[in-house]
Amino acid sequence: RDDVELKGCINLSPAWFQQGRNGQGRNHLPEVLASLKKSNGDSGGRVWVGAMVILNTLLSVMLAVMHPDLYAAGREAMIKLGDHAERVDAEMGEMLERWSSVYGVISVMVNRESPLHRDYNGKNEWMDLSASVGQY
């Protein structure tokens, strides 16, 4: 609906590392983020991943041109996650086949304005890519 004002953020990832969990075993391994799991009754995240194939591919190609080392690292991470998924997590493997980005996480922010952001634990080499989409 055009009269609805949407605000918020959603994260999408085929291999989200669940930080802050206690315990042993699988809790410390990456897994498909809940918004993309088949068990989630809302398939919107999976539909969005499919609809964004061309744009995510374009953004990955742009990264390959602008920062080839970061692109190579992201691609290598996706390949290693795929190897892990073949052995341990079929649902992750299926989502990785659909995932068209070398980035492991996509955050969708809806509010027309992004807050000032700084990764205090990050490094300059760990660059993010921001794309603004819509009418202004």
Query: How do residues 107-133 score in pLDDT, each as one tens digit?
Result: 887 766 666 666 666 666 665 667 666
Residue 55: inside a domain, yes or no?
Answer: no
Per-residue 3-state assignment (H helix, E strand, C coil) for 19-81:
CCCCCCHHHHCEECCHHHCCCCCCCHHHHHHHHCHHHHHHHHHHHHHHCHHHHHHHHHHHHHH
Query: How do residues 26-37 score in pLDDT, each as one tens digit?
Result: 557 788 988 899
Residue 125: inside a domain, yes or no?
Answer: no
Residue 95: inside a domain, yes or no?
Answer: yes
Residue 45: inside a domain, yes or no?
Answer: no
Residue 120: inside a domain, yes or no?
Answer: no
Predicted structure pTM score: 0.74
**What's 116's DSSP letter?**
P
The structure tokens listed for 105 are 């996480």
Per the structure, the complete domain to which residue 100 belongs is given by 68-111
User: How many structural domains are present in the chain?
Assistant: 1
Band of residue 7 on the pLDDT scale cut at 50, 70, 90? confident
